[in-house]
Amino acid sequence: MGVSKHPPQRAYRYFDLIMAVFVTILLCSNLIGAAKILTVFGVVTSGSILFFPISYLFGDILTEVYGYARSRRVVWTGFAALLFASLVSFVVLNLPPAEGWNHQSELEIIFGQTPRLAGASLIAYFLGEISNSYVLAKMKIWTQGRWLWTRVVGSTIAGEAIDTILFYPLAFYGVWSNPLLGRIMVTNYLIKVIWELVMTPFTYRIVSFLKRAENEDFYDYDTNFSPFSFKL
């Protein structure tokens, strides 16, 4: 297995597939689930809780195997996809409907992201995912590649905290009552962290498979950690 300090300029077998899965999960969970309130086993939470944490799992996998720089590029790809999806929703919903078509209100309920909700999603996603990747990359160096579970869970604790603290107040403060907002923030955060713990064995399996298949195990010793750098 190759242990590298700089991502080699070569093609990987599974990198594009993982990026596609990451972006798909991100778009679906943000556009469909974020605004819906659910009761899951007696706990009030939002619909995005069912699938959004998977994006952090794949963020962990990307950083662990391919390094922070490539993971950062995927985060930017997801950001661009979210921005474009929000733009498409805004344009299509604001185009005048054809005469006799009476489903505008239903379409607005499903895809009618306000600029506030879209902006909150973009800000929280970007800073949360970048923080998640940064913490995992640094912890991998500190632990010398041992104890994968510590950096998987530790990075999720940091990244999801930033995402939760930013997204819900930016999106729903003044829309939901303060008690409901606080309750959903706390329950969502705890569920996401617990979800990551439950999925840790699967993360181990996927990481182990990819390291063997890609012959790669990246350490970010000399990486430029600026979120605005695109250099590999």
Mean pLDDT along residues 11-37: 81
Neighbours of 88 (CB within 10 A): 12
Q: Where along the chain do its domains lie?
A: 3-93+111-213
By the 10 Å C-beta count (0-12 exposed, 13-18 middle, 19+ buried), 161 is classed as middle
Mean pLDDT along residues 59-81: 94
Give the pLDDT confidence of 207-217 residue by residue, as tens digits. 999 999 999 99
Lowest mean pLDDT among 42-56, 66-80, 125-139: 42-56
By the 10 Å C-beta count (0-12 exposed, 13-18 middle, 19+ buried), 66 is classed as buried
Give the pLDDT confidence of 149-166 residue by residue, as tens digits. 999 999 999 999 999 999
**According to the model, what pLDDT value does residue 205 have?**
94
Give the pLDDT confidence of 107-128 residue by residue, as tens digits. 776 666 667 777 888 899 999 9
Burial 22-35, CB ≥16 within 10 A → b, else e: bbebbbbbbbebbb
Q: Are 212 and 1 in contact (CB under 8 A)?
A: yes
CATH topology of domain 3-93+111-213: Arp2/3 complex 21 kDa subunit ARPC3 (1.10.1760)
Mean pLDDT along residues 203-225: 94
By the 10 Å C-beta count (0-12 exposed, 13-18 middle, 19+ buried), 37 is classed as exposed
Mean pLDDT along residues 154-181: 90
Classify 218 as helix, strand or coil. strand
Higher-confidence residue of 204 and 192: namely 204
Mean pLDDT along residues 195-205: 89
- What confidence category does residue 76 fall into, taking pLDDT thresholds of 50, 70 and 90? very high
Classify 173 as helix, strand or coil. strand
Q: Are 55 and 77 in contact (CB under 8 A)?
A: no
Please, what is the Cα angle at 140 between 26 and 228, to 5 degrees?
50
